[in-house]
Structure 1
Amino acid sequence: MTWDDMLPLLLESTGQTVEMVLWSTLFTVVLGLPLGVALVVTDRGGLFPSPVLNRVLGFVVNVGRSLPFIILMIAVIPLTRLIVGTTIGSSASVVPLTLGAAPFFARLVETALREVGRDKVQAAQAMGASRSTVVAKVLLPEAMPGLIAGLTVTVVALISYSAMAGAIGGGGLGDLAIRYGYHRFETTLMIVTVVVLVVVVQLVQTLGDMVARRLARN
């Protein structure tokens, strides 16, 4: 296979991977951020203590994190078909990608929020701030560097997950590597695909680290 043959395939597959990761990241934040906040505020000594709810949420998160992604993709095929209308392609991959990453991100959010000094929370409450205001104006802003770092780790994991999605026709660079690099023995294309994935991960990690450091200085 020549470079002229490989370039269109690489561009199309890279675009599919970027699309999967962007949409999955958006939905992961929408689901994982509130879940992580809930894990912190419902804990004993939290702003909205509820031990039973906290244990339920913790159990849900732990179950989501314990499932290998390849098994999760297969297990949620009926849900994927219900939501998207199909089980193949980059759009269908967004569902298992989100379900796999949201619990992971929730734990990172929980860790970042717990690093916020309790004295800052108490000071805000002493000034008359409501509990919801403390979450919005103290916890989340103070934890922002950690949240960005956690989001960066999550996006890198999503890139890895998106490559695995190619195993069941999810599209993207993983699908390209399997169809051409593995089944058709196109070793050069396989190597180029790996290089593209490494470059994308490096760009994401560098950008995330830069943003987190800048926020930490403010």
Structure 2
Amino acid sequence: MTWEEIVPLLGPATLETAQMVGWSAVFTLLFGLPLGVALVAFDRDGLRPLLALRSGLGFVVNVGRSLPFIVLMIAIIPFTRLVVGTTIGTAAFVVPLTVGAVPFYARLVETALREVGADVVQAAQAMGASRTTIVRKVLLPEALPGLVAGLTVTVVALIGYSAMAGTLGGGGLGDLAVRYGYQRFETSLMIVTVVLLLIIVQLLQSLGDAVARRLSHK
């Protein structure tokens, strides 16, 4: 394929990938952050020890993280159809992308929160701060650089997941690489798609690292 033929294909595919990754990242943050907080708060030495609930949440997170993404996409097809009414297209694959990323990010949130010094939490408790206040004004602000770094890693993983979703009708750059690059033996398009994905990942990783460093210095 010539460059004039490749460029018109890249624009829509890149937009579809951006939509899948963007919406999935938003939902992952909305669900993964509270889940990660719960894993810490309900633990034995947490703000509100609830060991049975903590064990149940930990089990769900571990199961979610252990499933290969392509298996997960197929396994939750009925749930995807229930949520969006279809199992193909960009909107449909936001569901498995989110389901796959939430446990991953929740563990990163848990790790970031556990790095907050116990003395900081104890000082807030000594001042009479409530559990909710400690989470909102102590744990989350103190762990913010780690939370941003974890979200960056998750978004990069979502880009890889979105490329895999293209093999099952999800659209985006993965679908373009498979339908044109692989099935039609268009090696030039395959190379361009891979290079574009690498550039996107590098830009996002650099941006996330820069934001995390800036927050850490503050």
Same fold judged by TM-score > 0.5? yes
Aligned to 1:67: 67
CA shift at 1:128, angstroms?
1.1
Deviation digits for residues 91-138 of structure 1 (CA, Å, limit 9, x no counterpart)? 111000000000000000000000000000000111111111000000
- When normalised by structure 1's length, the TM-score is 0.99
Deviation digits for residues 8-50 of structure 1 (CA, Å, limit 9, x no counterpart)? 1101100000010000000001110000000000000100101
Alignment coverage as a number of residue pairs:
218
Aligned to 2:174: 174
Aligned pairs for 1:105-124 (under 5 A) are 105-124=105-124
3-state SS of paired residue (1:8): helix
**Runs of at least 4 residues of structure 1 off by over 2 A?**
none
Aligned to 2:196: 196
Aligned to 1:214: 214
Aligned to 1:187: 187
Letter in 2 for 1:197: L
Q: Distance in 2 between matches of 1:50 and 1:137?
A: 22
Aligned to 1:85: 85
Q: Distance in 1 between matches of 2:45 and 2:152?
A: 29
3-state SS of paired residue (2:48): coil
Q: Distance in 1 between matches of 2:46 and 2:88?
A: 42
My pick for the range that moved more, 117-126 or 83-92, is 83-92
Aligned to 1:12: 12
Aligned to 2:131: 131
Deviation digits for residues 50-101 of structure 1 (CA, Å, limit 9, x no counterpart)? 1100000000000000000000001111111111111111111100000000
Q: Distance in 2 between matches of 1:215 and 1:96?
A: 31
What root-mean-square deviation, in Å, do the aligned CA atoms of Structure 1 and Structure 2 show? 0.5
Identity of aligned residues (%): 72
Q: Structure 1: 5+ residue runs without aligned partners?
A: none
Aligned to 1:150: 150
Q: Distance in 2 between matches of 1:131 and 1:30?
A: 20
Q: Distance in 2 between matches of 1:191 and 1:4?
A: 15
Letter in 1 for 2:197: L
Q: Distance in 2 between matches of 1:76 and 1:52?
A: 26
Aligned to 1:76: 76
Aligned to 1:165: 165
Q: Distance in 1 between matches of 2:115 and 2:73?
A: 33
3-state SS of paired residue (1:87): coil
- When normalised by structure 2's length, the TM-score is 0.99
3-state SS of paired residue (1:210): helix
Q: Structure 2: 5+ residue runs without aligned partners?
A: none
Aligned to 1:55: 55
CA shift at 1:4, angstroms?
1.5
Letter in 2 for 1:161: Y
My pick for the range that moved more, 59-68 or 78-87, is 78-87
